[in-house]
Amino acid sequence: METVKAWMSSPAIVARDTETLPRARELLLAAGIRRLPVVNAAGELVGIITRGDINRISDSPERDKQDYNPYYRIHDLPLREVMRRPVITVTPDTPLHEAAHLLLAWRIGGFPVLSSGQIIGMITASDMLRHIIQHMNEPPPAARQRHPTSFDESGLR
């Protein structure tokens, strides 16, 4: 039986709960990931923040308050103030099909993998799709081709 351990990304890229939204965005973009586990000073998982969360917070009407209230600076807030919690997690020994069911049930794209309370990796829907593709017995279907007469010489309609 396939487990999360064989398909997770490790080590996990994490942010401290004292980091700010701009720093979290930098980490996400630099690593090319969509979700960022948040840890405290002891390295314990305390939350998670996603690209979507950051975009929603950044586009929030609350952001405009900073123009009127110098004490309200949403981008200066530490992640512990804006992260999601509790965090759905799995262990390295979780069967891959169970992890897939959790993704669907919680409507999330991935979660941290914990061992002895410490984050050791991440498993995502993309990781699971890689598994499915690698284990398919059939070659991928041929690409669809449009009828050549529906295009002009440049290839455009």
Domain-located, residue 149: no
Domain-located, residue 141: no
Rg of the chain over Cα atoms, rounded to whole angstroms, equals 20
Domain-located, residue 18: yes
Domain-located, residue 69: yes
Average pLDDT, the chain: 83
Which tens digit of pLDDT belongs to each residue from 15-37? 999 999 999 999 999 999 999 99
Domain-located, residue 126: yes
pLDDT at site 146: 44
Average of per-residue pLDDT across 87-91 = 97
> Does the global pTM surpass 0.85?
no
Give the C-alpha separation, 81 to 20, whole Å. 9
Token pair of 21 as six digits: 């939204």
Domain-located, residue 55: yes
Q: Which domain holds residue 63?
A: 4-135
What 51-59 contacts at long range (C-beta under 8 Å, 24+ apart), as own/partner pairs, is: 51/25, 53/82, 53/83, 53/84, 54/21, 54/24, 54/25, 54/28, 57/21, 57/82, 58/21
pLDDT at site 58: 76
Cα end-to-end span (Å), the chain: 49
Domain count, the chain: 1
CATH number of the structural domain spanning residue 49: 3.10.580.10
Domain-located, residue 99: yes
Domain-located, residue 93: yes
